[in-house]
Amino acid sequence: MSQQFDVLVIGGGPGGYVAAIRAAQLGFNTACCESNPYADPKGEPRLGGTCLNVGCIPSKALLHTSHLFEEAGHAFAEQGISVGTPRIDVPRMIGRKSEIVDKLTAGIKGLFKKNNVTLLKGHGAFVGQGAAGWQVKVGEEVVEARQVIVATGSKARHLPGIAVDNKLICDNIGALDIDAVPRKLAIIGAGVIGLEMGSVWRRLGSEVTILEAAPDFLAAADVDLSREALKLLTKQGLSLNMGVRIGEVKTSKKGVSIAYVDKEGKEHKLDADRLIVSVGRIPNTDGLDAEAVGLKLDERGMIEVDEHCKTNVAGIWAVGDVVRGPMLAHKAMEEGVMVAELIAGQAGHCNFDTIPFVIYTNPEMAWVGKTEQQLKAEGVAYKAGKIPFLANGRALGMGAPEGFVKMLADARTDRILGVHIIGAGASELIAEAVVAMEFGGASEDLARICHAHPTLSEVVHEAALACDKRALHF
Ligand code: FAD
Ligand code: NAI
C-alpha cells in the first residue's frame, strides 16, 4: 500500500519547509518532497530551496564580505585606521558562503526531524485522485495525501539566444560561485539581483556595466528613493544604462560580447569577462503534471490561487514563488503558515499590504506600503515626512550619512500608508514601519514613541514627527 499522509508539501524551499513544519506542529502527519537540484556530495537533497542554496542567504554573505573589503580599502583610512591595501581571496569568500549554506540547509533537516516531518527524496508530480486523497508520484513511489501544498518555487528566466552555462554567462546560480574577480562584468537587468550582485563585484574591483530594458530605474520603488539610489549607486561606480535593447550576445575564449542599442538608438558593443543575466524569474510548474488533477495555471505558468492560496482544486493549495505576488522568501513563508493553519480550520491570514521589500545594496533600500506616485495616481490625500540620515548623530558616527526615511500618512486620518528608507540599516529599520502599519498605526503613534538615542531608528521617529511638521532635529 502506498504511504499516506494528511499533508504533503511539494518543494522544500521557504514556502514549503515552513508550511510542512507548521502543519506538523498542528498535529498533521506531514511529508515534504524535494527534488535534487542542490544535492550535497552524498546526493542527499538540500532543503531551503532557492533562498538558502542560491538566493537570499549566499547573496547576503557575499554582500557582507565585499562590504568589509570596501570599508577596509576606503572607509578605514578616513577614521585613522591603516591596514594597507586589502586583498581578496575569492575562493575563501565563496567557501565561507558555502559553509553558511551547508549549515543552514542541514539545520532545516534538523527542524524536520524535531517536528516529525517526513522528508521524501525526489521530484513530485501529480498522478490523480485515490481513495485516501491526492496521489503524487515522488521518485518511483506514489504517495497519497488528503491535502497537498505546492511550493515548487521559481527559476531564473533566460533570454532567447543567450545560453547560460553558469561559467561565462551566469544566472543567479553561477553568479554566486564566480571564482575570480572579473575585470569587466556585464549584467543584463537592473533589478534586485543585478544591483546586489553588481555591488558585490564592483566592490571587489570589477568594472560593472548594467544594461536595463526599462526606461526608468527601479520603477516599482518610491520615486524619491529610486532617484537617490540611482545617484548613489552611479557615484559608487556602477554603470547603469536604462532603456537599452539587447542584441546579439557572442562568446569567445576572451569572454563575452554583448551588442545593444541605447535609448537614443545608438548601437554599442560591450566586451566583458563574464555576463550575469538577471531578468526576473519563472515558476517551476513544468514536470508537476498539474493537468493530471485539473490544476489551473495562468498564462505565465503560475498556479492560480485566491488570497488564501486556494487553487481551483479542493485540497490542493499553492504558496510562494509559484503563485502571484512578489517573489520573496518572507512572503512564501507567510503563505506557508497561513495555508497550514487554514487546513487546521484556523483563521490563517497573510496581509499582502504590509510585505516589506529590501534591496541589500549600500546603502540598503527598504519599503512597505504605497509609494508617493501610487497615492497620487489613486487620488489619496496624503502628507509626507522626509528626514535625511545626515541629520542623525549615529549615522554620522558610522560614516553613513547617505539617504533618508520618508513616511507617507493619510492627510485626514494620519494612518501610515507607506514608509520608504534608503540608508544604513534600512533592512532592520523597516520592521518598525511594518509593525506600525500592521497595527493600523498613525504617524502620531510613532512620533509619540520613545526611540533610543543615538540610533538610526531616530530617523524613523523624526520622519513621523515631520508628517506633522514638527521634526526636532531637521
Ligand atoms: P524556492 O525557494 O524556489 O523552493 C522551491 C523548492 O521546490 C526547490 O528546492 C526546488 O528544488 C523544489 N521543487 C521544485 N519542483 C519540485 C518538484 N516537482 N518536486 C519536488 N521538489 C520540487 N527573497 C527575499 O525575501 N530576500 C532576499 O534577500 C532574496 N534574495 C534573493 C537572491 C537571489 C539571487 C535570488 C535568486 C532570490 C532571492 N530571493 C530573496 C527570492 C527568494 O529566494 C524566493 O522568493 C524564495 O526562495 C521562494 O521560496 P519558495 O519556497 O516559493 O521557492
Ligand atoms: P527583477 O524583476 O528584480 O529585475 C529584472 C530586471 O530585468 C527588470 O528591471 C527588467 O526590466 C529587466 N529586464 C527584463 N528583460 C530584460 C531584457 N530583455 N533586457 C534588459 N533588461 C531586462 O528580477 P531579478 O533581479 O532577476 O530577481 C528575481 C527576483 O528575485 C526578484 O524579483 C525578487 O523577487 C527576488 N530577489 C529578491 C531579493 C531581495 O529581496 N533583496 C534579492 C534578489 C532577488
115, burial (CB in 10 Å: exposed 0-12, middle 13-18, buried 19+): middle
Identity at 349, one-letter amino acid code: H
| pLDDT value of residue 107 | 96
User: What ligand is nearest to the CA atom of residue 59?
Assistant: 1
Q: Which atom of ligand 2 is nearest to the CA of 156?
A: 26
Model pLDDT for residues 410-456, shown as the tens digit of each residue: 999 999 999 999 999 999 999 999 999 999 999 999 999 999 999 99
pLDDT, position 44: 85
- In whole angstroms, give the CA distance from residue 245 to residue 441: 44
- Which amino acid makes up residue 410? D
Q: Is the distance from the beta carbon of residue 211 to the nearest atom of ligand 2 less than 6 Å?
A: yes
The model carries a pTM of: 0.98
| Among 244, 261, 278, residue to substitute to test ligand 2 (most atoms within 8 Å of Cβ) | 278
Identify which ligand lies nearest to the alpha carbon of 244: 2
Which residues are marked as active site? 453
Residue 193, pLDDT above cutoff 80: yes
Q: Give the largest Cα separation in the chain, rounded.
A: 73
pLDDT value of position 368:
98
Delimit the domains of the chain by residue range.
4-155+282-350, 169-279, 354-467
Atom 3 of ligand 2, nearest CA residue: 191
4-155+282-350 and 354-467 in the same fold? no
- Please write the tens of the pLDDT for every residue from 372-389: 999 999 999 999 999 999
d(CA 446, CA 463): 9
Give the pLDDT mean for 151-156.
98
Q: Which of 62, 188, 193 to mutate to test the pocket of ligand 2 (most atoms within 8 A of CB)?
A: 193
Nearest Cα residue to 134 out of 342, 289, 297, 339: 289
Q: Is the beta carbon of 35 within 6 A of some atom in ligand 1?
A: yes
pLDDT of residue 1: 65
Q: Which atom of ligand 2 is nearest to the CA of 157?
A: 26
User: Where are the alpha helices (H) located in 367-456, listed in sequence order?
Assistant: 372-378, 393-397, 426-438, 443-447
For domain 354-467, say whether CATH 3.30.390.30 is its number: yes
Whether residue 51 has its Cβ less than 6 Å from ligand 1:
yes
Taking CA atoms only, the protein residue closest to ligand 1 atom 41 is: 328
Q: Is 189 in the pocket of ligand 2 (CB under 6 A)?
A: yes
In the CATH scheme, what architecture does the domain 4-155+282-350 have?
A: 3-Layer(bba) Sandwich (3.50)
pLDDT at 59: 98
The position carrying cell 565563496 is 94
Q: What's the 159 CA to ligand 2 centre distance in angstroms?
A: 13
Does 214 sit in the ligand 2 pocket, CB within 6 Å?
Answer: yes
Residue 371 Cβ contacting ligand 1 at under 6 Å? no
The answer on pLDDT for 462 being more than 90 is yes
Q: Domain 169-279 carries which CATH code?
A: 3.50.50.60
